[in-house]
Amino acid sequence: MSAPRTYLLTTPIYYVNDVPHVGHAYTTIAADALTRSRRLRGEDAFLLTGTDEHGQNIERTAREKGVPTQQYCDQVSAVFRALWETLDIRYDRFIRTTDDLHVRGVLKLWDRLCGAKTPDGRDAIYTGTYAGWYCPRCEEFKDEDELKQPGNLCPIHELPSEWTEEENFFFRLSAYEGWLRDEIVSGRFRIDPAERRNEVLGVINQGLKDFSVSRARVKWGIPVPQRPDHVLYVWFDALSNYITALDYAGDGPLYKKYWDADSAERLHLIGKDILRFHCLYWPALLEAAGVRPPNREFVQGWITKEGKKLSKTTGNVIDPQALVARHGPDPVRYFLLREGSYGQDWDFADQAFVGRYNSDLANDLGNLVSRALTMLARYCEGKVPTRPAIPRERPVGFEEDLQVPATLEGRIKAVLDRYEALEFAGALSEVWSWIGQLNQRIVVISPWEIAKDPARREELDAFLYRLLEAVRLVAVLVFPVMPRAAGRIFRMLGLPERDPGREDLSWGRLPPGAPLGAIEPLFPRIEKERTVSDEKPPQIPPPVETTQAAPPPTADKIDIADFARLELRAGRVQSAEKVAGSKKLVKLQVDLGSEVRQVVAGIADAYAPESLVGKTVAVVANLKPAKLMGVDSNGMVLAASLDGKAVLCTFDGEVPPGTRIK
């Protein structure tokens, strides 16, 4: 019997010569989302990440900062781990190239290579002289025709390369051309997207050059046992992490299960700048050493800002920590995976972040959840209604009305398949098209109308049960990308806040009669990156100096200073429920941008509570708090009164919550 399939997923290990930027977070979030989606499918998945700490560059940076090199590595590596923590990255192993486990593994691999023969019977490792243009930032020799002139500048860093000659150990990569081509063409070694696979094949077809695997000039690294004045080439050292972390040195159980097994998928996520190292050097080194090579690589695109790659050298980095501090981890994870197509370059625009947040998260998802739960509180006493008997193939029940042929199973499979193909934007857009349909169905079905007729109770319960189940399944499907928001939705549904598994993908899991949790706002809207300090206080004209006697005060008019004392703001209704025992009063939770307020309004005879959710209303925000029929009210909603019935003041256009009305 063959062993069950295992899934190892790795990120590149990040250089510690600087703190992380959004480009690094991008790969790690993608890796975490894919790993979570695999676990959701019930697969055995392992996520590996870490830091790359050797090399001249890091040694130089530590020296410039006046910190001992190891201490410097410890500090920056800890910054990466702290960021992964705030971004809810759940890795299984964090490897550092200064770990003893790693060093032992690298030396074992080196030892195997030193005794290895190429397919045509020559030594895989030999000594030779290397002379060439060396970029200390890339830690690699550059071909002369790659350099930018004048100045022999590295094409990536635009800094001068150094002419270098040294005696090195070489790896005979040229002997693995045929093997590499076969692996790729046969599909045994899968490289995506296709243009990257073609790029690698193109490089192979031009002929592969041997490369040096030791450095005489670098001190901060793993000494070569045969020549302790040399260290192993930083890329040889770094690439080895993928097996050393699993205890290749001790042939440990993780190594056996996730790397050295027929049924193991070994997938590396990489940036296109490190394609050659991962798709040529690394598999060939392993093949030579008699170790299984990786069998899948996915090459992500670059995030750019105004067309330029985010990098410290370009000076346009975006600090992921600051983004998370401002918006929380989920919107950052969502935006990065939704905005661009994962294998392609894309531009990070602040406005796009705000737009996606407000429309996809606050409006679409946030409103769906709060509308559904508000109706449940209103019509079902906050409990899961009776589960309707629904034919299995149409369990959610919305598709038939919309003439959409997809069954629930089809929908779920489409989303999970797209995660597996690393089409995160596609997976999310599948979920959002469902969210859109659900929001539409609420309006079309208008449960508040059905609720008026007691004879239609069963119909109402059936609709609300399906809606609630759909909300639960939406939360399960967004969990890989937004685990925290999914957990909060589970809590509101009265479910335990645990990672969902395969069993949670089936319909009808909500137990009828079970109490729902408290409704909490999911994603309060952002006001176009405005901070409170941007806001100008209302302009009060200076008093007019006059020698004449002041005109008599007009009792029925106020001046502008009186008006300025009123703090009027736009507010978005997040949830609404009737105040028990009152015909007129409704209790609203109103998003005022920087806070959510409870406001009691006398409009229940004119508006069904659910119809209020999502409306933007005018709120008197600095009214003294009051109690209305025992319920706290902190503000007032403006409305006209027509024949005794309220007509709300709304806006002639989209206005973000919290906007001052003047």
By the criterion CB under 6 A, which residues form the site for ligand MSP? 12-15, 23-24, 26-27, 52, 238-239, 241, 270-271, 273-274, 300, 302-303, 309-311
24 an active-site residue? yes
From the list 135, 142, 230, 278, the catalytic residue is 135
Query: Residue 40 or 109: which CB sits closer to ligand MSP?
Result: 109
What distances in angstroms separate CA 630 from CA 260, 600, 620, one per listed residue? Answer: 67, 11, 20
Residue from 272, 309, 578, 615 carrying the catalytic annotation: 309
Active-site residue (options: 54, 108, 138, 257): 138
Catalytic, out of 114, 157, 413, 584: 157
CB of 526 to ligand MSP, least distance (A): 24
**Active site annotation includes 102:** no
- Known catalytic residue: 135? yes
Classify residue 1 as exposed, middle or buried by CB count within 10 Å of its CB (0-12, 13-18, 19+): exposed
Residue whose C-alpha is closest to residue 584's, from 597, 600, 573: 600
Residue 452 a catalytic site member: no
Q: CB-wise, 27 or 659, nearer to ligand MSP? A: 27
Distance (Å, whole) CA 631 – CA 577: 12
Task: Output the smallest distance, CB 244 to ligand MSP, in A.
Answer: 11
Least distance between ligand MSP and beta carbon 408 (Å): 35
Question: How far apart are CB 12 and ligand MSP at their closest, in Å?
Answer: 4
> How many degrees, rounded to 5, is the angle at CA 10 between CA 179 and CA 18?
115
From the CB of 335, what's the least distance to ligand MSP, in Å? 14
154 is catalytic: yes
State the burial class of residue 278 (Cβ atoms within 10 Å of its Cβ: 0-12, 13-18, 19+): buried
To the query of whether residue 157 is one of the catalytic residues in this protein, the response is yes
- Kindly tell me which of 108 and 466 has the beta carbon lying closer to ligand MSP: 108
User: Which residue in the list 305, 312, 584, 615 is annotated as catalytic?
Assistant: 312
Name which of 13 and 103 has its Cβ closer to ligand MSP.
13
Beta carbon of residue 274, minimum distance to ligand MSP (angstroms, whole number): 5
Give the residues across from 46 on adjacent strands.
8
Nearer to ligand MSP, 305 or 509 (CB): 305
| CA–CA distance, 502 with 37 (Å, rounded to integer) | 10
Q: Residue 364: CA atoms inside 13 Å, Cβ hemisphere, count?
A: 18
Burial class (CB in 10 A: 0-12, 13-18, 19+), 600: buried
Query: In the complex with ligand MSP, which residue's Cβ is closer, 138 or 590?
Result: 138
What's the rounded Cα separation, in Å, for the pair 390 and 405? Answer: 16
Rounded Cα–Cα distance for residues 631 and 600 (Å): 8
Strands 6-10, 264-271: pairing kind: parallel
Nearest residue by C-beta to ligand MSP? Answer: 271
Q: Which residues, 6+ apart, have CB-to-CB distance to 116 below 8 Å?
A: 123, 124, 125, 288, 289, 290
Q: Which of 21, 142, 268, 278 is catalytic?
A: 21
Pick the closest to residue 470 from 389, 574, 521, 398 (CA basis).
Answer: 398
Active-site residues, by number, are 21, 24, 135, 138, 154, 157, 309, 312
